[in-house]
Amino acid sequence: MSSPFWRHYRTLVSQGIQAELADLERLVSPVLFALTTLLLFAFAIGDVEPALRVHIYLAETFLTALFALQINFSRLFEPDRQDRVFDLMRTYPVDHTAWFLAKYTLVLAMGSATLGPTLGFAAFVNQSPSQPLFSWVVVGVAAMALAGLAALGVLLSAMTLKANARQILYPLLYFPLATPVLLAAVQSSQLYLSSGQITADVRAWLGLLLGFDVIYITLGALLFTELVDES
Amino acid sequence: MEITKLSFAFRHRRLFHNLSLQVGAGELVHIAGPNGAGKSTFLATVAGLLTPAAGTVAYQGSDGPIQDRRDALEYLPAEANGLYLKMGATQNLQFWSRLRGLNLSPPEIWTALTPWNLNHPLLRDGFAVEKFSTGMKRRLALARLQLSPAVGWLLDEPVYGLDAEAMTIFTNMLSQHLAKGGFALMVSHDLLPFAGLITKTVVIGGKPGTVEAA
Amino acid sequence: MITAEDRRELYLGAILLTLVVGHWLAAFYYAPVDEHQGEVYRIMFLHVPSAITAFASSAALAVFSVLGLKRRSEASLALAKATAEVGLLFTVLTLATGSIWGRPTWGTWWTWDARLTTTFLLALLYCGYLLLYAAMPTGPSRIRACAVLGILIFADVPIIYKSVTWWRTLHQPPSMLRAGGSTMEPEILWTLVLGIVILCLYGAWLIRFRSRNIRLADTLEAASFDQLQT
Amino acid sequence: MNNITGIATDAQPFIIMAYSLGALALLGYAHWCLLQRVKLRQLVAAVQQPHSAAIPPI
């Protein structure tokens, strides 16, 4: 497996991870943002009668996840933007698909590092004696959502690399495109939690989520090359 | 390397037009011309960063045409060194050399740092490169160049920020590279150290893209 | 100042515009009264063609974006940008007429009807495209970035539509926006089809006209840079 | 167009509102494009005067 593709992939992933570890702020700030957002939701929504608690919990969790992940995605190329590393990388014989996959893997890792605490903390603050809200199926749904969003995130990040007012432009492009993921995640989790098992409806929603993932991973790999080629 | 009729317009402004140039083994081409004439744009175009309006850049390896220009060229930008600023010197060199297919152990990287006297236990590891001085960053970038197997160097103000001692180290390094059959295109405001080495001069911004033998 | 070419373009535009107005008259007087909604359903003859033009524009945007990636020319970017602009115009028109139609029909200005919601998102996506166009400096990287976004938008619309439709069917049966039940009387059907064709043609004309303005502005920008030079 | 004869009165205001919005959008945008085209043509004419840099015929 030492063909250039995998060598480039491993080199880029390990460099990406080291860049994250070298600058811990990049991992901590999205989590802090997520926890703050969850508190804001709790203060805004206040007490909820049990019937609605599950629905509110899921809405809060996935909205917070969507916002927090957006921070990870939009700052993905930050280390590469400094000192023209990104341009230099383009003059190196790097396989562009390996480059995309490396960035995708990296943002999956960063995303899980944000998603984990978000899901945990949301269940923790919203639970009640009768309703322990944490469920591994919801975590699975969140993982599927992350898989699609990450591909979209990498593509948008590379696309807006040279745009000015990037910080405000990114969410304006990301959120509308990500709505199907939010819908699918909340709906499938809610149907599961209310019925207790994977019904046909839940499977339908998960199928849509899977469709989104597949489309955006393939589009990502194809279109990333277009973004990185000359100039 | 064979450049034929390369022309480039930046924001519809013609920087160089129909510029043709042959660069053989052991040649050092000096890119001359007033500021803002497009010297850096020319190097970036040859490096593949910018799409030329017209013309081609062809790479003739000893055993036939080179498929990917990026295998043959190592680019040194003018105002940047391509360094991960939050990481250490060894990590940086290891990354770029591994992308070139070299699997160097840290001690091997340290020996590459030695000529640029960056091989200090406190400096080479765990010390973010952003804390380096401009000259030290430039020397680290030149160490990357030295490690690279690429045959052609595209140097944009290589000696920027270097002190006299580093300047001589760079000149020796460049002449060794040329002696080994490598070539280089260079933009430099300071030509004194390279007097004997330059084989050709290309003027950009003066008369349109003419080539005069130095 | 107006060249002969401009004049020809304007004649074509005038013809299309009269066709649009002519169709409106047909919508008022030729199409019969609808037994469910009475007269107010006539808004459909503007709402549905406008919606179809808006979604057709997203397809056109994708086509110009792929062209943009292939040829990397400013011309394809100008066409794509014009398409996004006209698309935005028609999505906003669709939302406005949809909500005006909704008021007498359901008593509210807005319902989370699947098609309306998707149109709303499409409007946001067009705005995003125009923002990216404005945020990037002129040059090949802008052509590429906008082209990729154009393709993303087109890829996402069907997913959005499916997810929104499922989201709504869980709560409310498909809305009764379709006038005259499933089988439309021939007069209504033909008036509607005619309206769709005419409005799409008019939309295409708007795109062409606007894209030539953009090309003209690009050329003048180039001239101003040359002026800078001398 | 204030009283479209032959249309039931209660639906009239909504139809008028919708179609006038339609006219505003379709005509307004075309008008804006036309004004822009005229302005650009004037600029081109001004630029192509003998004293300024030559510009390829558009």
The band of B207, judged by pLDDT with boundaries at 50, 70 and 90, is low
Residue D52 has pLDDT above 60, yes or no: no
pLDDT tens readout for residues A141-174: 999 999 999 999 999 999 998 888 888 999 999 9
3-class DSSP state of B7: strand
* C34: β partners: C38
Chain A with chain B: Cβ pairs closer than 8 A = 75
Of A50-64, A68-82, B99-113, C181-195, the poorest mean pLDDT is in C181-195
Chain C with chain D: Cβ pairs closer than 8 A = 108
The full set of domain ranges for chain A reads 4-230
Give percent of chain A with pLDDT exceeding 90. 68
The answer for residues whose C-beta is within 8 angstroms of residue A227's C-beta and 6 or more apart is A155, A158, A159, A161, C144, C145, C148
- The total of structural domains in chain B comes to 1
CA B111 to chain centroid, in Å, comes to 21
Chain C residues with CB under 8 Å of B208 CB are none
Q: What is the mean pLDDT of residues B51-64?
A: 77
Q: B8 — contact with chain C (CB < 8 Å)?
A: no
| A abuts D (3+ Cβ pairs < 8 Å) | no
Q: D27 — contact with chain C (CB < 8 Å)?
A: yes
Token couple for A112: 């899980």
| pLDDT for res A132 | 75
Residue whose structure tokens are 């660069």: B23
| pLDDT for res C171 | 56
Token couple for C63: 């086509």
The band of C152, judged by pLDDT with boundaries at 50, 70 and 90, is very high
Whether D14 sits inside 8 A of C104 (CB atoms) is yes
* B22: β partners: B2
Burial of residue A166 (number of CB atoms within 10 Å: 0-12, 13-18, 19+): middle
The band of D10, judged by pLDDT with boundaries at 50, 70 and 90, is confident
Q: What span, in angstroms and rounded, lies between the C-alpha atoms of C169 and D10?
A: 31
Pairing of strands B60-61, B54-58: unpaired
Residue C179 has pLDDT above 60, yes or no: no
Domain that holds residue B41: 2-213
Residue C204 has pLDDT above 90, yes or no: yes
Facing B87 at nearest CB: one of A4, A19, A87: A19
Chain A residues with CB under 8 Å of B74 CB are 91
Q: What is the mean pLDDT of residues B105-112?
A: 89
Token couple for B144: 């990357």
Whether C139 sits inside 8 A of B12 (CB atoms) is no
The alpha carbons of chain A give a radius of gyration, in whole angstroms, of 19
| pLDDT for res D53 | 52
Residue B197 has pLDDT above 90, yes or no: no
| D abuts B (3+ Cβ pairs < 8 Å) | no
The alpha carbons of chain B give a radius of gyration, in whole angstroms, of 17
Q: D24 — contact with chain C (CB < 8 Å)?
A: no
Residue D5 DSSP label: T
- Sign of the four-CA dihedral B117, B119, B123, B128: positive
The alpha carbons of chain D give a radius of gyration, in whole angstroms, of 21
Whether B87 sits inside 8 A of A18 (CB atoms) is yes
Task: Return the partners of chain C (3 or more C-beta pairs < 8 Å).
Answer: A, B, D
Whether A87 sits inside 8 A of B101 (CB atoms) is no
Whether B12 sits inside 8 A of C228 (CB atoms) is no
Q: Report the complex ipTM.
A: 0.85
Token couple for B50: 């910018």
Q: What span, in angstroms and rounded, lies between the C-alpha atoms of C90 and B2?
A: 52
